[in-house]
Structure 1
Amino acid sequence: MKTATIARIAAALTGVLVATACGSDPGGEAQGDPDGRGPITFATIKDGTGTVPELVEQWNAEHPDEKVTIVELPEGADGQRQKLVQQAQTASDSYDVITIDLPWNAEFAARRWITELPKESFAVDGFFPAALEGSQYRGKLYSIPHFTGSAMLYFREDLLEKVDAEPPTTWDQMWEVCEQVLQLPEAKGMSCYAGQHDKYEGLTVNFAEAVASAGGQVFDETGKPTVDTPEAAEGLGFLVDGFREGRIPADAITYKEEEGRRAFQQGELVFHRNWAYIYNLANADDGSSKVAGEFGVTVIPGLDDAGVSALGGNNLAVSAFSTKQATARDFIAHLTSLDVQLRHAKGSAYPMTRTEVYSDPGLQKQYPYLTVLKEGIERAQPRPSIVRYGDASTVIQTHVYAALKGEKSVDDALAAMQRELTELTQGS
């Protein structure tokens, strides 16, 4: 997935936190037309591969009276959300189909900015269960999974072979292998590992993955924050100790997805946690990557076994203010159908949301990492149904970042996080 998309992928907060106080629409009842048809607009992120515009052109050729016009949202996640919220708060019918990050589903549904969707119209049995779960709010379907994904562990396969080591499945194995690799002359100046550690959404994701990979949860099934646990301490300790002991380079405190990708491509890291979109970039044979053909991928490691990734993804929803909602629903069903997802996957590296896509022989040859990616998605944790998602993420980022910089102990950071998340929950 593209950097602008991935960087905003949110925390894999396990469990379900439902905020009840935001169930009413502050702007009043929607004025859209559930049965309306005609030309529609599709507000979505920019597709640098050109695949989505091609798919839209094919739709337009087959539906001359219901043509789709693409409207590109701003590049950054904050700008995208701001634009969509502005349209909703003014009850604008400018957008018919909108692209939302999975964590926004609950907020947009609770505020009645998007419409409930009939499950029977979308062949929902074919989607990854976790992606579909995150598309619902209070048991009802409000958006359809378009892209999904999980983190993968990129590793220097050539260097692991030199020390006769297998890809690690646990954190301890990763550190042990790294110590062996760093003894090699070819590994001079390298560091062991990095993910995304700057103070932004990616840090929330990395923290939640570490907690889940230690057997814990950020929120339990009842919506109660649970970061005052030994498992949460293990997860945060994995990151804090990595920085303190130098296994994670000091510069990684500034890493988002792209900074980490560049470090791995330049041969600075033995292991790197990132998303599927960087695979082709790191394997480019145009001289931009020093590790092309020399790395492999596996699922992210955990405390005692393979780890648990955050579930990434973008969903498609129908604006509650659209006057052509019937066409909008048909277009979403078309764009997320198995046939179109197969065509889409062949034209881009975006991870699709239907499980059958990952079994296609042609795609497996085109994208060698598909088997690992599918395993990661199946293990991934869905995001919670939380309306105040942004507030929760800010709390997490603040205290995790302070711990990574050595400004707070692991215990103090988690205690403060537990207190503030509890207050946030009670105030929802």
Structure 2
Amino acid sequence: MIAGARVRTAALLAVAALVLTACGDDGGDAGGGGGGGGGSTALEGRGPITFATGKDTSGNMQKLVDEWNADHPDEKVTITELPESADDQRNRMIQNAQTESDEFAVLNLDVIWTAEFAANRWITELPQGEFELDQFLAPAVETGKYRDKMYAMPVYSDGGLLFYRKDLLDAAGVTEAPKTWAELTAACDKVKAAPANKNIGCYAGQFDKYEGLTVNFSEAVQSAGGSIVDDSGKPTVTSQEAKDGLNFLVEAKKNGQIPEAAITYKEEEGRRAFQEGQLVFHRQWPYQYALANATDGSSKVANKFGVAPLPGKDGPGVSTLGGHNFAISSFAKNKATALDFIKYFASEDAQRSNLLATSQAPTRTALYEEQELITKFPYLPTLLASIENAVPRPRVVKYGDVTAAMQEAAYGAITGEKSTDEALETLQSELEKLTAE
């Protein structure tokens, strides 16, 4: 399945380019339609800039900005923290772009937003020749491109991982992390057989109705051997494999393996639940590692958990490709400063600093090969494999509409509002319309 995922990833990237060409400059939902920008594309001007990003949970982003500011007193950067939800971040950036505001200069974009922002001319093309792209993870580099041009620089990558309570599995006689969904369920049953663990939740991910659900739903489908779209770009969510993937989540929720509270979890809610000792297994991005291992009293599971590949129906699962790229707003002033700031954050030194402080996935290939880093973060080889074999979400200009349709289908089925068949048949119809020429 892993090798097949790599082939599917390459094919999907090629198909995405055709889909994007067909979609033209149409926008997505949440105000994402039209509004092509009239900002300057010249990377000129130096002076203060603002960096729009999600919450800095570690403080290391501010630390790196402070170091930049100390070296560039006339080109200082101010961080503007956007809401915690990825959907809310996107909406805020779109609103800023549609008013052609120069409030933001550098945007911290989810990897899947590149096409939408580039097609609407909300971000400026970057000079590929000024970045050492051959030293970055190839899947991450592709997420920054639109029609073969670079619009966003990959600074953080991401692959889904399975965090698990190794101490509880050891006590229950489970010697290995589960590789399949059946093994995960069996392991959880053994843990919960102990009276002290009877109320612990078995499994959680990101199941609230937002972008995280699109990711988790996609991973379930992919990990059952299915796909959201096939190699030609045609939606395939009514396949038996897609049904098997969604049914894993539906049945786990129905049987109580996914706790009731977990349908409200985004990344941070789930992280806090895992750190409080409320979960045996948690699907999460690697940033959780450093926070869950904190020894300052904020985590009850420090040094008690392990990290493994995602499980699947018949073997190891397939992650959805995640990460964040830095782009320059078309309406920004001081674009030359913005470009240099992106180069600074994409540098090997800055990415090493970020990995050490946050355990987020770097995009520099060399950092996955440093033995000192592997010793500190033993999950790095697993993470690298997760990223290299990950499947991207549909890279379409109308992505806002696509992801909303996927969330609606998955949430409806998981909560029992719709049957799996009904949810997927409706989704198939919606995706066919959204990806049509």
TM-score norm. by structure 1 comes to 0.88
Q: How many Å apart are 1:65 and its aligned residue?
A: 4.6
1:311 aligns with 2:321: yes
- In the alignment, what sits opposite 1:9? none
Q: How many Å apart are 1:200 and its aligned residue?
A: 2.1
Q: How many Å apart are 1:206 and its aligned residue?
A: 0.9
Conserved? CA contact 1:228–1:414, under 8 Å: yes
Rounded to whole Å, the distance in 1 between the matches of 2:36 and 2:299 is: 53
Q: Cα 1:135–1:383, aligned 2, differ >3 Å: closer, same or farther?
A: farther
Q: How many Å apart are 1:143 and its aligned residue?
A: 0.3
Task: Give the residue type in structure 2 aligned to 1:220.
Answer: D
Q: Cα 1:264–1:95, aligned 2, differ >3 Å: closer, same or farther?
A: closer
- In the alignment, what sits opposite 2:38? 30
Q: Cα 1:269–1:76, aligned 2, differ >3 Å: closer, same or farther?
A: closer
1:56 aligns with 2:65: yes
Rounded to whole Å, the distance in 2 between the matches of 1:257 and 1:152 is: 13
Pick from 155, 175, 183 the counterpart of residue 146 of structure 1. Answer: 155
Rounded to whole Å, the distance in 1 between the matches of 2:240 and 2:141 is: 30
Rounded to whole Å, the distance in 2 between the matches of 1:34 and 1:216 is: 43
Structure 1 residues 75-154: aligned runs within 5 Å: 75-154=84-163
Q: Cα 1:235–1:325, aligned 2, differ >3 Å: closer, same or farther?
A: same
Q: How many Å apart are 1:257 and its aligned residue?
A: 2.5
Q: How many Å apart are 1:33 and its aligned residue?
A: 5.5
Q: How many Å apart are 1:396 and its aligned residue?
A: 1.3
Q: How many Å apart are 1:52 and its aligned residue?
A: 2.6
Post-superposition Cα deviations, 1:39-77, rounded to whole Å, max 9, x if no partner, equal: 141322242433233323333444445443434434443
Task: Give the residue type in structure 2 aligned to 1:194.
Answer: A
Q: How many Å apart are 1:166 and its aligned residue?
A: 1.0
Name the SS for the 1:316 alignment partner.
Answer: strand
Name the SS for the 1:317 alignment partner.
Answer: strand
1:254 aligns with 2:256: no
Q: CA RMSD in A?
A: 2.5
- In the alignment, what sits opposite 2:167? 158
Structure 1 residues 312-327: aligned runs within 5 Å: 312-327=322-337
Q: How many Å apart are 1:165 and its aligned residue?
A: 2.6
Task: Give the residue type in structure 2 aligned to 1:18.
Answer: L
Task: Give the residue type in structure 1 aligned to 2:149.
Answer: K
1:357 aligns with 2:367: yes
Rounded to whole Å, the distance in 2 between the matches of 1:322 and 1:159 is: 52
1:20 aligns with 2:22: yes
Structure 1 residues 382-421: aligned runs within 5 Å: 382-421=392-431
Rounded to whole Å, the distance in 2 between the matches of 1:204 and 1:222 is: 21
Post-superposition Cα deviations, 1:100-119, rounded to whole Å, max 9, x if no partner, equal: 22121111100111122222
Pick from 239, 245, 263 the counterpart of residue 229 of structure 1. Answer: 239
Rounded to whole Å, the distance in 2 between the matches of 1:394 and 1:113 is: 21
Pick from 231, 234, 251 the counterpart of residue 241 of structure 1. Answer: 251
Pick from 265, 268, 274 the counterpart of residue 264 of structure 1. Answer: 274
Rounded to whole Å, the distance in 1 between the matches of 2:265 and 2:191 is: 23
Q: How many Å apart are 1:407 and its aligned residue?
A: 2.6
Rounded to whole Å, the distance in 1 between the matches of 2:277 and 2:37 is: 55
Task: Give the residue type in structure 1 aligned to 2:121.
Answer: R
Post-superposition Cα deviations, 1:263-293, rounded to whole Å, max 9, x if no partner, equal: 3333332222122222233333344433332
Rounded to whole Å, the distance in 2 between the matches of 1:61 and 1:187 is: 51
Q: How many Å apart are 1:300 and its aligned residue?
A: 0.7
Conserved? CA contact 2:157–2:361, under 8 Å: yes
- In the alignment, what sits opposite 2:51? 43
Q: Cα 1:68–1:293, aligned 2, differ >3 Å: closer, same or farther?
A: closer
Q: How many Å apart are 1:309 and its aligned residue?
A: 1.2
Pick from 200, 219, 229 the counterpart of residue 219 of structure 1. Answer: 229
Rounded to whole Å, the distance in 1 between the matches of 2:26 and 2:422 is: 37
Task: Give the residue type in structure 2 aligned to 1:32.
Answer: S
Structure 1 residues 273-352: aligned runs within 5 Å: 273-352=283-362
Task: Give the residue type in structure 2 aligned to 1:379.
Answer: N
In the alignment, structure 1 segments of 5+ residues that lack a partner are 1-12
Q: Cα 1:49–1:399, aligned 2, differ >3 Å: closer, same or farther?
A: closer
Pick from 391, 411, 421 the counterpart of residue 381 of structure 1. Answer: 391
Q: Is the deviation greater in 342-351 or in 67-76?
A: 67-76
Conserved? CA contact 2:52–2:105, under 8 Å: no
Q: Is the deviation greater in 417-426 or in 67-76?
A: 67-76
- In the alignment, what sits opposite 2:31? none
Name the SS for the 1:145 alignment partner.
Answer: strand
Q: Is the deviation greater in 230-239 or in 58-67?
A: 58-67
Rounded to whole Å, the distance in 1 between the matches of 2:212 and 2:25 is: 28
Conserved? CA contact 2:104–2:329, under 8 Å: yes
Post-superposition Cα deviations, 1:280-323, rounded to whole Å, max 9, x if no partner, equal: 33333344433332211101111122111122211111222234
Q: Is the deviation greater in 417-426 or in 243-252?
A: 243-252
Q: Is the deviation greater in 237-246 or in 375-384?
A: 375-384
**Residues paired across the two proteins, number:** 415
Q: Is the deviation greater in 39-48 or in 105-114?
A: 39-48
In the alignment, structure 2 segments of 5+ residues that lack a partner are 1-11, 28-33
Rounded to whole Å, the distance in 2 between the matches of 1:413 and 1:147 is: 33
Name the SS for the 2:163 alignment partner.
Answer: strand
Q: How many Å apart are 1:425 and its aligned residue?
A: 2.3
Q: Is the deviation greater in 38-47 or in 387-396?
A: 38-47
Name the SS for the 1:18 alignment partner.
Answer: helix
Q: Is the deviation greater in 374-383 or in 47-56?
A: 47-56
1:190 aligns with 2:214: no
Rounded to whole Å, the distance in 1 between the matches of 2:258 and 2:91 is: 34
Name the SS for the 2:294 alignment partner.
Answer: coil
Name the SS for the 2:22 alignment partner.
Answer: coil
Q: Percent identity?
A: 49
